[in-house]
Structures are given as structure tokens and as C-alpha cells.
């Protein structure tokens, strides 16, 4: 039987780096039973991995390899970025390992957001991961493709075909300083904060009916560690179509109290104005779900 290993992709990123730091901080004794590898893009990242007794796998090297050339000794996968990785595996290859393959992924709640501004899709239900969230994503994909949601559906369906157990963690807006070596910050909140400082006030889209929760990046890392620990212990936890996990720890408000902006008046902007302010050049359809949904 091949040795058990864990491959972390996106380890140089915000969530992946924080997960890796907490995963290897010594609190998980069972980690010592595994060889840990990380997918990296640069020589500097590879050197950092080696200095911390982690095996680096260069991304360009992975792209050049076919499935038959892949290192077959990785029964556990923690996916943070590359949606192409599960396609490197087939059911036959999974069986050849002689042990179960697990694939963990990070997604986002904008997959389930409605379109409050354009009114093209309204859904005010409070959703729970105890419900059939896979079917919800599959239904939305049937009439509206959204890259992040498409990835979720692809992972679940390919995982079933390949005989993998898949788990998708779906956080809302993420905050907190990351513990990784290379990327300490999320992208969404800094965009909103910088825009607020630029305008000296906070803007809402349309009537401001959007509702988003938040979660600290270390809480996401903790959830990933918990899932991995239970997988290691052989516990039967929901996977595949049932393996979608929400995580949140509260809601947030604005910046006036910290003196970062001059006014606590909330300005109303249309979707195009917010797109120009937050993410210039991005199609409006990709701005509405993460910034103006419910």
C-alpha cells in the first residue's frame, strides 16, 4: 500500500497559507503519520516549503504531466485553488492506490446569492448545509453559469465518477490577518475598505438589501483541520452531494468608529458605479453576486 500523504494546493495564498500554518503548528499529532506536499508557483515558495520540511510540487511541472505520470501516493487532498486537479484522477487510478482518496475544497456563499439589484433571481430563504445544497447549486447552474459554482458541481460529479470523497467548505466574507508566509489578506474586504476611504463614506448598492455574514480566516482553517482529523479517525462524515459545509461567525458593519471615513452616511450607488469602484472591467454579472446578493 502506498504511504499516506496530503497535498495542499494554494498554500501560498490567504486561506491555504493560514490552513497550512495551523495544520503544522504541532497541535495535530496525527499529522506526523503523513507526508505533506504543497503545490507552489515560484522557486521562493518551494525553498520556503523545503525549509519547513514540506515537499514542494511546482505548478508548471504538474501542468506538463499526464495522469499516467502523476505521483500516485496522495490519498488526501486539500484543495484551495486549482479546479483542474481532480480531473487528473480516474476511478481506476483511485482503486490502484488501495486506499480512499479525499478531496477538500474552498468555495464561497456568492454561489447561492440572489440578484437583488437586477431582479433576475430572487431567493430570500435562509439556507442550511443540512439541506441539499448540491441540488441548489446544480439548479442555479442550469440557467446561469458562475465559475465558482461551476467548480463546486464539477468537483462533486467528478468525485463520484472517480470514487473520491469530496468535501466543500463554503464561507461568506472572510476577515482577519492570514497566518501564511506569502499572503496575509483577503481580497473582498480590502476592496470595500479602500473604496470607502477613497469616497470618505460607505456605499451600498441600490436599496442596500444585501445581507452577508462573515468568518475569520482562522475559523476556516480550524474547520478544515477538524474535517481532516475526522477523516483520519475513520469517522463517517457527509461527503459528495451531502458534503457541503457552511461556516460563519456573525455579521459586520462600517468604519466610522475607527475614523477611517468622515461620514457614517451610507450612499446608494448603482451596480455599474460599484463595479467601477471595486473591480473595474469585471462584468456586472460577476459583481452582483459577491457584492449585492442575499
pLDDT for position 233 = 93
Angle at 196 between CA 10 and CA 179, to 5 degrees: 25
Could you read off the pLDDT of 204-218 as tens digits, one per residue? 666 666 677 889 999
Whether 196 has a pLDDT exceeding 90, the answer reads no
pLDDT for position 156 = 94
Could you read off the pLDDT of 61-104 as tens digits, one per residue? 555 444 444 443 333 333 333 444 455 566 666 667 677 889 99
- Is there a domain that residue 132 lies in? yes
Is residue 8 within 8 A of residue 78, CB to CB? The reply is yes
- Is there a domain that residue 12 lies in? yes
Could you read off the pLDDT of 119-168 as tens digits, one per residue? 788 888 888 999 999 999 999 999 999 999 999 999 999 999 888 899 99
- The structure's pTM equals 0.78
Binned at pLDDT 50, 70 and 90, residue 178 comes out as very high
- Is there a domain that residue 259 lies in? no
Please name which of 172, 196, 197 lies closest in space to residue 186, comparing C-alpha atoms. 172
- Residue appearing with cell numbers 499529522: 31
Percent of the chain with pLDDT over 70: 76
Cα distance between the two ends of the chain:
48
Whether 1 has a pLDDT exceeding 60, the answer reads no
- Is there a domain that residue 111 lies in? yes
- Is there a domain that residue 203 lies in? no
- Is there a domain that residue 13 lies in? yes
- 172 is in which domain, residue-wise? 5-183+213-251
Average pLDDT over residues 261-279: 71
- Is there a domain that residue 14 lies in? yes
pLDDT for position 272 = 82
Q: In what order do the strands lie in the sheet with 76-79?
A: 55-58, 35-40, 5-8, 76-79, 102-106, 165-170, 244-246
pLDDT for position 76 = 38
Whether 293 has a pLDDT exceeding 80, the answer reads no
Residues 6+ apart with CB under 8 A from 85: 9, 62, 77, 79
Could you read off the pLDDT of 221-236 as tens digits, one per residue? 999 999 999 999 999 9
Q: What is the DSSP string of 193-252?
A: HHHHHHHTSEEEETT-----EEEEHHHHHHHHHHHHHHHHTT-----GGG-EEE---EE-
Task: Report how many domains make up the chain.
Answer: 1
- Is there a domain that residue 164 lies in? yes
**Domain CATH code at residue 65:** 3.40.50.720
Whether 24 has a pLDDT exceeding 60, the answer reads yes
Amino acid at each position: 500500500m502506498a504511504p499516506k500523504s496530503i497535498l495542499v494546493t494554494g498554500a501560498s495564498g490567504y486561506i491555504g497559507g493560514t490552513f497550512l500554518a495551523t495544520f503544522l503548528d504541532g497541535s495535530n499529532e496525527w499529522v506526523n503519520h503523513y507526508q505533506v506536499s504543497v503545490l507552489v508557483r515560484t522557486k521562493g515558495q518551494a525553498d520556503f516549503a523545503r525549509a519547513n520540511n514540506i515537499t514542494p510540487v511546482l505548478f508548471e511541472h504538474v501542468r506538463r504531466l499526464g495522469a499516467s505520470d502523476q505521483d500516485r501516493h496522495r490519498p488526501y487532498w486539500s484543495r484551495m485553488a486549482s479546479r483542474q486537479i481532480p480531473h487528473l484522477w480516474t476511478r481506476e487510478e483511485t482503486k490502484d492506490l488501495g486506499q480512499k482518496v479525499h478531496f477538500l475544497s474552498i468555495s464561497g456563499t456568492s454561489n447561492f446569492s440572489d440578484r437583488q439589484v437586477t431582479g433576475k433571481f430572487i431567493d430570500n430563504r435562509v439556507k442550511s448545509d443540512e439541506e441539499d445544497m448540491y441540488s441548489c447549486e446544480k439548479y442555479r447552474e442550469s440557467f446561469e453559469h458562475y465559475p465558482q459554482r461551476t467548480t463546486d458541481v464539477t468537483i462533486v460529479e467528478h468525485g463520484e465518477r472517480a470514487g473520491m470523497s469530496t468535501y466543500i467548505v463554503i464561507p461568506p466574507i472572510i476577515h482577519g490577518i492570514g497566518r501564511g508566509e506569502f499572503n496575509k489578506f483577503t481580497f473582498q474586504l480590502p476592496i470595500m475598505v479602500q473604496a470607502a476611504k477613497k469616497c470618505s463614506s460607505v456605499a451600498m448598492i441600490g436599496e442596500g438589501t444585501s445581507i452577508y455574514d462573515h468568518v475569520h480566516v482562522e475559523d476556516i482553517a480550524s474547520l478544515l483541520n477538524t474535517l481532516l482529523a475526522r477523516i483520519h479517525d475513520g469517522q463517517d462524515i457527509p461527503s459528495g452531494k451531502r458534503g457541503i459545509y457552511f461556516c460563519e461567525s456573525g455579521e459586520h458593519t462600517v468604519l466610522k468608529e475607527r475614523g477611517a471615513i468622515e461620514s457614517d452616511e451610507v450612499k446608494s450607488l448603482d451596480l455599474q458605479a460599484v463595479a467601477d469602484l471595486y473591480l473595474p472591467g469585471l462584468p456586472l454579472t460577476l459583481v452582483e453576486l459577491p457584492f449585492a446578493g442575499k
